[in-house]
Structure 1
């Protein structure tokens, strides 16, 4: 089921420290609404906190209790940073893609990327009573009843269901195949999509692919390349470009987060309560090594130690910015020095000086020593340690010491 995750605030620990965010699900609204959400500051903010909102093809009704305003908003082009200051007290409903036009009979393109006051769309006073309430449950009831009144005639959900179909099979979808399935030409399809979603068919597909990709990376232990393939990105470079374009995170940052951070969702279902919590658990740690030449480093580890390249950025070329290699249960990341310093300027040095060793365990250390003895520079010969391991050490092409033991 398409249920977009706002990855930036999930991964932003400063946001989590200062802001409480919850989502509430109501079965009776499920055909038209993702959820009703609540966001408030845990205390008066003495600094600016940012809420980064990913494009998700949804239009929200947003109530700001502090400033007593209601507006419609939806975003499609890039991740939008919203400043949160002082006292934060919001509630909103996230309408499913296609719902806004059904419920308000106004083209979604009038709202998408053009937030409007509630009164410009609905001039009734149906929601204004909500500003007199402070109890969360009472606020939820007002909001829920307003929405139930909007859907009481059961508007046709055809174009809402289309989004789910596209989300489930993104690899097979193109603008041409979608037009053929509707028996429309591309121009008419464009008009229909802009009216129902506020988006062109191409942009909607890109957003759905993005969120499927992020969901697979966050919730499933699926290989990076397989994720790109499932989501219908035609090559690795395209996949990485789209991730960075929409999330604001570098591909490396997302990879590291996915390797280190495990998100566990605990659902507490009561009468109309859906509480989203998260728990962090360390699963693995993967070394990211700064090197002068990623391609030469990969060649050393492939030819001498039998590692295989999992991915690189770019995918091919004489100069690589980043790569992941793997053999059996071991993964290592390499990043070109200039590229890494652009990301972390505090690491700036005139040259790379090896300052660490890698400790690698294998099943047959003696056999591997015999294979490598005349192929690499030995840092320490095979010997028995006081902690009852047989081990030897070699230098890689960058001068790093790799201790290999059994």
Structure 2
């Protein structure tokens, strides 16, 4: 079967702002497929160069536009194509969109919206590359170059809050927040404020998402069973693990198809 999913980590020069790039191109296939999207902890810019998608985030189906910002999501939601799936996406570090464009991320929680006009005007070269005819790898090279040039004009500060987010990710969501606060030297109130503005979730909820997402990476390992995964992801016991998994996916982990080729697995296994 011809590859339709493409993904590549950002280079070190840009990885402090962008996590990865991805593309979906199902060529001429117009079969309508309903997909599930599961929280992974990273906001995105998304550009459609095929037919648009429909989403159901809060119980109502809506047709998406072509140039989108996706904020943090707290639970799974559904989407489906309306024709040809051709999408280019940029997955940012949790603080990336706020640092670049001063977007208040709490206003984007559980939302996928049209890119604001001011932001779209700024990133128009990125949009044009994303929807153009270059190969995926060629697009990534050109877009990285644009962002490297753009960052030269910004005065970015590595706040203690960002260091806390990095530690949460590094520790796979298993470390107590008080330990992280002490390690980076930030108060609970300051951390909450940082997360509200720059991430869009509370520190506690974000840690839950990061811990949960690690399940998908462990599930790919050979000779690993559920008891190992429960232990390695830091859940109290199997019932706690199952409850958390159901909250984020709507499914029991024993019935979830970890190796199925779908959007949820594509994003969470990387």
The TM-score, its normalising length taken from structure 1, stands at 0.53
State the 1:173 CA deviation.
2.1
Of residues 228, 236, 240 in structure 2, which corresponds to 1:238? 240
Decide which structure has the larger Cα Rg and report it: 1
Structure 1 range deviating more: 53-62 or 158-167: 158-167
Q: How many residues align?
A: 244
Change (3 A) 1:179 1:31: closer
Give the deviation of 1:38 after TM superposition: 0.7
Distance between the aligned counterparts of 2:167 and 2:26, measured in 1? 37
- Alignment match, 1:211: 213
Partner of 2:132: 133
Q: Distance in 1 between matches of 2:131 and 2:234?
A: 48
Shift of 1:209: 0.5
The 5 Å alignment of 1:3-402 reads: 20-27=4-11, 28-45=13-30, 47-66=31-50, 69-120=66-117, 122=119, 123-124=121-122, 125-130=124-129, 133-136=132-135, 139-152=139-152, 153=154, 155-158=156-159, 159-170=161-172, 173-219=175-221, 221-254=223-256
Q: Is the 8 A contact 1:171 1:229 kept in 2?
A: no
Matched with 2:57 is none
Partner of 2:62: none
Structure 1 residues 175 and 165: alpha-carbon distance in aligned structure 2, compared to 1, 3 A threshold: closer
Deviation at 1:56, TM superposition (A): 1.2
SS in 2 for 1:240: helix
Q: Which residue in the other structure is 1:3 paired with?
A: none
- TM-score w.r.t. the length of structure 2 is 0.76
3-state SS of the aligned residue for 2:164?
Answer: helix
Q: Once the 2 structures are TM-superposed, how far is the Cα of residue 147 of structure 1 from its aligned partner?
A: 2.2
User: Which secondary structure state, in structure 2, belongs to the residue aligned with residue 86 of structure 1?
Assistant: coil
Considering fraction of residues, name the structure with more strand. Answer: 1
Counterparts of 1:180 and 1:249, CA distance in 2:
36
Which structure would you say has the larger RCO, counting Cα contacts within 8 Å and 6 or more residues apart? 2
CA contact (8 A) 2:88 2:131 kept: no
Distance 1:171 1:86, change over 3 A: closer
Deviation at 1:187, TM superposition (A): 3.2
Unaligned runs of 5+ in 1: 1-16, 264-275, 279-406
Shift of residue 40 of structure 1? 1.5
Cα displacement (A) at 1:23: 0.7
Deviation per CA, 1:232-266: give whole Å up to 9, x if none: 21222111111122133312214xx57xx699xxx
Asked if structure 2 preserves the Cα contact closer than 8 Å seen for 1:33 and 1:96, the reply is yes
Report how far residue 72 of structure 1 moved: 0.8
Secondary structure of the structure 2 residue equivalent to 1:24: strand
Shift of the 149–219 alpha-carbon distance from structure 1 to 2, 3 Å rule, reads farther
Aligned partners of 1:205, 1:121: CA distance in 2, in Å?
32
Q: Distance in 1 between matches of 2:85 and 2:219?
A: 31
Tell me what 1:344 maps to: none
